[in-house]
């Protein structure tokens, strides 16, 4: 088995000590074998089958993007700065209705290329034609938690077929791509799925022993509708329907009462915070400092490129560190380290990969990235935790490994054909709008 | 005289039509000679002494950063996530007090390198040792509006010396560096300068026929102090002291009443909006949609790297387009085009360079940048105005010209020695903290 030894690198481990040091790391197979400060010990040098000089590079865990719709990268810049319903009904939905499996494949490939190039190593994807997304994961080498997102506003036979599709996808792909793919079960949202339909997803999740993922309380309007339709707010509604009896990841959770924050903490529900998308769609600012205080695992998602409009998780990390200070008036909330944890270790935790990915530790998966830091915006060398949260960009990423395999080298994709993806994605878009 | 013809480029002109097209542009000396859609006309080809293929590149006006303290790049990451007074009194001020002219030179050089590499062609700088900043402008080739920022909380003889220093700097450098340097007159802020001292700056500005620049209403605390000390809020205070009888650029202006917004509009005062710094320091969110409605010219600044922590104006453009939507609940405010204008044409207007820089137009200064757009986050080719505001990053910039002279080629600085700057900036920091 090959054993890669990286020497003379700067390491930010995201472990409990928040260590940052000059040191070395050894990768064997899909795992981090060992790492430490200073010069590599002699026995590490002897064991190595391959050596890399890490001078000028900062190594850290790969980022986890915990909410998105990769294929919607085809809709980037199609429509912006519009009222939500106008945007959805007149631009997004009519175009998405025409998506074929091939469109999903090329749109997701476009997203995968952008994610790898900006340092994301694990992503959550909720969409349709999920077999084609799984193909992209398999080919790209990324790690992913995939889920067929089902909208239930349709006749019962169509509902049944969609649920069956979601279950079949889980059976086909959970544990797929050498274990890099896991699957979640997803009713799209409380406002797009009748309660009895949501219950069927909860039952399926129990049967398949899988976690759940859904959109919740992204806008004030949907919360108000929930109260009108069901007599309670979304957290209580989903709790009553049994969803939180499964490990659950909620996307957005912008509009919450104190009671809802407390209940999410008690039920150990995770929240994917999507600050850029929430701002762009004018949904509001989630109560992240309160959620963290309540013990909720809060991770970061980009949502799709249609409401962002990029998939650079470093932007979400910076936004998470900035927005809650400005809105609360307290410059000490969400310090740099906490924002970085949201993008790494909390991301892994929120999709059941705690202890598996999201930190640099011996025995964990070799999912890591290297940033080129011999640049003005990383000088002076004061505090790399601060630099990563506030000054870095995804474009600083030059090397990416997932499961011990290198996916990006000197900014060049190794598993995907970038030229073909750019051309096919453009062609898909032209056909969809043509 | 050389005449550069750029062919086959994508152009976003930021002119009144917000044109975006495939086309050509001719540069002669320091000016844009001509530009247009489609293939370059035969006479342009004949006139050209040099030709450049713009395939895969997007050309747009260079960005204008209208508020900053370049030398403070030496303090990037030194202290973050602290309460404002702790940050200032225990970290910033004690370190800044030790700054020598050489520290200002290398800190400003570090900032200049970062700004050029991320597409800024004109910057405003308010600091001390301004002769050394002017040297950096001269050497780097950037355009700048420079000002000695004077804090007046000191004995009268020290006040006098500082004012004399500010006036001498204006006399020495206004119109310097082949006209690329202009000078403003700057009492630091109403809360750091007694009223009679501010009046002396207003008089000097009239005498020298120069505009004024000051910090105003960045925090709620300073507004409250102004009311306590002078019986009125800062806008009325500065208006009474005569400041707005000069063209004035106010940094921050976060906390404003309706009356203050209206008065700024009437007095034709410009505001430099610094969204990232205002969030990081928990100062709040400026009322930019209201200011624009009132006819105020609102431009964008990074503030220093100590409170940002980078100088990427594309991040400010995106933040300006995002934050006001999320805070107001209206997804139509500050659309992409308006955010881009704030970073270009409004930036130029706010420092008296309207019609001179900030747009691609025949007869205007050849201050422009080229972004590499053959990348996932610029696909599909829907709307480059959207892509520039929401998806682009400063790192997409590969070429930069100011005054017709190229400062960056394929990401490499042509006028500054990046290696030396990184080393000297690090050395300055070590000495300051040693």
Q: Does B422 reach chain A within 8 Å, measured CB to CB?
A: yes
Determine, for residues A380 and B425 on separate chains, whether the beta-carbon distance falls below 8 Å. yes
pLDDT tens for each residue of A172-181: 999 999 999 9
Mean pLDDT score, B91-110: 97
User: Which distant-in-sequence residues (6+ apart) come within 8 Å of A242 by Cβ?
Assistant: A199, A202
Considering only CB atoms, which chain A residues are within 8 Å of B422?
374-376, 379
User: Which distant-in-sequence residues (6+ apart) come within 8 Å of B197 by Cβ?
Assistant: B152, B159, B163, B187
Mean pLDDT score, A160-165: 98
Q: Which residues between 309 and 328 in chain B have a beta carbon less than 8 angstroms from any beta carbon of chain A?
A: 309-312, 315, 318, 321-323, 325-328
- Residue given tokens 């009268």 in the structure block: B156
pLDDT value, residue A400: 99
pLDDT tens for each residue of B215-225: 999 999 999 99
Q: How far, in Å, CA of A36 to CA of A34, rounded?
A: 7
Q: Is pLDDT above 90 for B25?
A: yes
Q: Does B137 reach chain A within 8 Å, measured CB to CB?
A: no
Instruction: Return phi, psi of residue A22, to 5°.
Output: -85, 130
Whether omega before A231 lies within 30 degrees of 0, making that bond cis, reads no
Q: Does B240 reach chain A within 8 Å, measured CB to CB?
A: no
Q: Is pLDDT above 90 for B341?
A: yes
Would you tell me how many other CB atoms lie within 10 Å of the CB of residue A172? 14
Interface A-B, measured as beta-carbon pairs within 8 A, has a size of 217
Q: Is pLDDT above 90 for B290?
A: yes
Distance of CA B154 to the CA centre of its chain: 29
pLDDT tens for each residue of A72-113: 999 999 999 998 889 989 999 999 999 999 999 999 999 999
Contact indicator for B125, B68 with CB cutoff of 8 Å = yes
Q: Exposed, middle or buried by CB within 10 Å (0-12, 13-18, 19+), for A189? A: buried
Would you tell me how many other CB atoms lie within 10 Å of the CB of residue B86? 13
Residue from A319, A312, A315, A304 nearest A79 by CA: A304
Contact indicator for B256, B282 with CB cutoff of 8 Å = no
Q: How far, in Å, CA of B167 to CA of B187, rounded?
A: 12
**Reported confidence tier of residue B83, pLDDT bands at 50, 70, 90:** confident
pLDDT value, residue B212: 98
Contact indicator for A102, A352 with CB cutoff of 8 Å = no
Q: How far, in Å, CA of A401 to CA of A152, rounded?
A: 38
Mean pLDDT score, A245-271: 98
Distance to chain A for B330, nearest Cα, Å: 6
| Domains of chain B in sequence order | 3-62+359-413 (2.30.40.10), 64-350 (3.20.20.140)
Q: How many contiguous H segments (helices) and E segments (strands) does chain A have?
A: 18, 18
Q: How far, in Å, CA of B34 to CA of B26, rounded?
A: 5
Mean pLDDT score, A386-392: 98
Q: Is pLDDT above 90 for B55?
A: yes
* Cα dist from B259 to B195, B215, B333, whole Å: 21, 19, 21
Mean residue pLDDT across chain B: 97
Q: Which of A75, A77, A78, A378 to mutate to test the interface with B (most CBs of B within 10 A)?
A: A77
Q: How far, in Å, CA of B377 to CA of B395, rounded?
A: 12
Q: Exposed, middle or buried by CB within 10 Å (0-12, 13-18, 19+), for B325? A: buried
Mean residue pLDDT across chain A: 97
Measured between CA atoms, the residue of chain B closest to residue A87 is: B331
Measured between CA atoms, the residue of chain A closest to residue B429 is: A380
């Amino acid at each position: 088995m090959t054993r890669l030894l990286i020497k003379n690198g700067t390491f930010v481990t995201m472990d409990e000590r928040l260590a940052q040091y000059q040191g070395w790391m050894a990768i064997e197979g899909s795992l981090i074998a060992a790492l430490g400060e200073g010069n590599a010990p002699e026995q590490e040098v002897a064991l190595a089958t391959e050596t890399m000089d890490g001078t000028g590079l900062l190594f850290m865990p790969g980022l986890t993007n915990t909410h998105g719709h990769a294929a919607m990268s085809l809709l980037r810049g199609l429509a912006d700065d519009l009222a939500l319903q106008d945007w959805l009904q007149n631009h997004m939905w009519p175009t998405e209705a025409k998506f074929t499996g091939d469109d999903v494949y090329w749109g997701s490939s476009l997203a995968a290329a952008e994610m790898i190039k900006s340092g994301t190593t694990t992503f959550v994807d909720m969409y349709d034609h999920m077999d084609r997304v799984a193909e992209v994961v398999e080919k790209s080498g990324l790690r992913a938690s995939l889920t067929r997102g089902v909208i239930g506003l349709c006749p019962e036979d169509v509902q049944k077929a969609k649920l069956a599709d979601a279950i079949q996808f889980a059976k086909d792909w959970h544990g797929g791509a050498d274990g890099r793919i896991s699957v979640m079960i997803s009713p799209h949202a409380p406002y797009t799925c009748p309660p009895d339909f949501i219950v069927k997803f909860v039952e399926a999740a129990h049967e398949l022993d899988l976690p759940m993922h859904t959109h919740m309380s992204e806008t004030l309007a949907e919360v108000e509708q929930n109260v009108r339709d069901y007599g309670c707010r979304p957290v209580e509604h989903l709790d009553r329907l049994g969803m939180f009896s499964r490990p659950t990841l909620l996307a957005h959770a912008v509009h919450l009462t104190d009671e809802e924050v407390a209940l999410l903490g008690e039920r150990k529900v995770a929240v994917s915070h999507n600050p850029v998308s929430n701002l762009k769609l004018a949904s509001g600012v989630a109560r992240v400092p309160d959620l963290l205080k309540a013990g909720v695992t809060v991770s970061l998602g980009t949502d799709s490129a249609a409401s962002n409009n990029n998939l650079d998780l470093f932007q979400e990390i910076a936004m998470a560190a900035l927005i809650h200070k400005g809105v609360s008036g307290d410059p000490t909330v969400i310090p740099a380290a906490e924002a970085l944890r949201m993008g790494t270790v909390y991301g892994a935790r929120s999709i059941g990969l705690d202890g598996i990915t999201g930190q640099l530790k011996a025995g964990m998966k070799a999912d890591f990235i290297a940033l080129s830091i011999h640049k003005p915006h990383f000088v002076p060398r004061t505090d790399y935790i601060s630099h990563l949260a506030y000054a870095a960009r995804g474009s600083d990423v030059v090397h990416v490994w997932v499961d011990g395999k290198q996916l990006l080298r000197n900014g060049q994709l190794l598993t995907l054909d970038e030229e073909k993806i750019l051309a096919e994605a453009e062609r898909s878009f032209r056909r969809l709008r043509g």
